[in-house]
Amino acid sequence: MLVGTPRERCAMPSTFRNMARGCLIGTAVGDALGAPVEFLSLVQIRARFGPEGLRGLEPWDGHRAGAITDDTQMTLATAAGLADALAEGVDPESAVWARYLAWYQTQRDPAERRAPGRTCLDALAGRVPGSAEDPLNDSKGCGGVMRVAPVGIAFEPGWAFERGAALAALTHGHPSGYLAAGFLADVVSRVAHRRTALYRAIMEAREELLGWEYAEEVLDAVDEAVETAMTNLGEPLTVQHLGEGWVAEEALAIAIACALAHPEDWVDAVLEAVNHDGDSDSTGAITGALMGVVLGVEAVPYAWVQRVERSAEALQTADRLVALVLEDPEARWAEGHPAEEEQL
């Protein structure tokens, strides 16, 4: 029996698997929504699509409507690598790095190449992973944070922050580049594993962030994002003062603000996140992933799910990761883990 209004049911996904599916499908659809307007100013977006801006999937750069970018490709690689690590009992960083190297090879194919970030390409070309202790560069581009949401599905709070930061540091060596990623992974983990409300999850992740060195830049961005959302709850946002999303803390801030301002509406949150000056596919992907975990896969419009590229793979990868998390006793935070209600 279904309890509550449709809106209330949407806000309370019933299963861990729904949240994992929402994470990966939300990434793909948010990414595909933002891709046509990346590099456009808000003025240009409204001139092309009307006063409300972009409202649906559109073709971009010779690709069909619903085509994904490197953001989704690398997020799927992250999820697949984490599943490999659980299945094979190996180090997550090594398993994910192997998946990233495989992705790097696909970018030689014009049909697969989707505007990959230069930092990621350069890091992977060297074939030696970086770390926070031994960074490859000083980049804080959003290419680290945009791909780590699945870490919050695979790991418990606390562990998720550490792993998310480590996976971003494979390619992005600036503390803001990997700490923003750790923050996102931790928020996702708190929502998925402990059913923590989004605002509280952000506040708890903030406490985790305070324990890291060089956290000031990300901390300031998070605080500004929360203030922006709380003073405009349910109203259209102006996110320009949060930045354009090209760097990690700005992309994280835009996603947090849009998600908090529209806590029960995946569509409004993600469309808010893509209609701005800047890196619209990355902010759309991060917001889509975050809201997908909060609301579950059913919150993403089915018509968009059907049209988005690699949607079946996203669902299959989410299911594989969830099944492996549930098989690993150490992956559960306590007896009675919400995921145990699943019969997979």
Of 157, 193, 282, give the one whose Cα is nearest residue 183.
Answer: 157
158 pLDDT tier (thresholds 50, 70, 90)? confident
Domain encompassing residue 46: 9-54+68-327
Highest mean pLDDT among 5-14, 108-117, 223-232, 245-254: 245-254
Indicate whether 169 belongs to any domain.
yes
Does residue 80 lie in a domain region? Answer: yes
CATH of the domain at 271: 1.10.4080.10
Number of independent structural domains in the chain: 1
pLDDT of residue 234: 65
Report the chain's terminal Cα–Cα distance, integer Å. 20
Give the DSSP letter of residue 340: G
Q: What is the mean pLDDT of residues 12-33?
A: 89
Give the three-class secondary structure for 304.
Answer: helix
Nearest CA-CA partner of 206 in 191, 194, 218: 218
Which pLDDT does position 35 carry in this prediction?
98
Q: How high is the pLDDT of residue 328?
A: 62
Whether residue 341 is contained in a domain is answered as: no
Planar angle of CA 49, 64, 50, nearest 5 degrees: 5
Specify the 3-state DSSP secondary structure of 172. Answer: coil
Percent of the chain with pLDDT over 90: 86
User: Do the domain assignments include residue 336?
Assistant: no
In this structure, is residue 203 part of a structural domain? yes
Residue 174 structure tokens: 């600036």
**Rounded mean pLDDT of the chain?**
91
Residue 2 lies in a domain: no
Beta bridge partners of 60: 63
Question: Is the residue at 37 inside a domain?
Answer: yes
pLDDT (tens digit per residue) in 283-307: 999 999 999 999 999 999 999 999 9
Q: What pLDDT does residue 236 have?
A: 74
Separation between Cα atoms, residue 53 and residue 37, nearest integer Å: 10
Beta carbons of 274 and 239 less than 8 angstroms apart: no
For 232, counting Cβ atoms within 10 Å of its Cβ (0-12 exposed, 13-18 middle, 19+ buried), the class is middle
**How confident is the model over 25-66, as pLDDT tens digits?**
999 999 999 999 999 999 999 999 999 999 999 999 999 999
> pLDDT category, 238, cuts 50, 70, 90?
confident
Between CA 237 and CA 191 the distance in angstroms is: 24
Do the domain assignments include residue 136?
yes
C-alpha span between 249 and 183 (Å, rounded): 10
Q: Which amino acid is at 20?
A: A
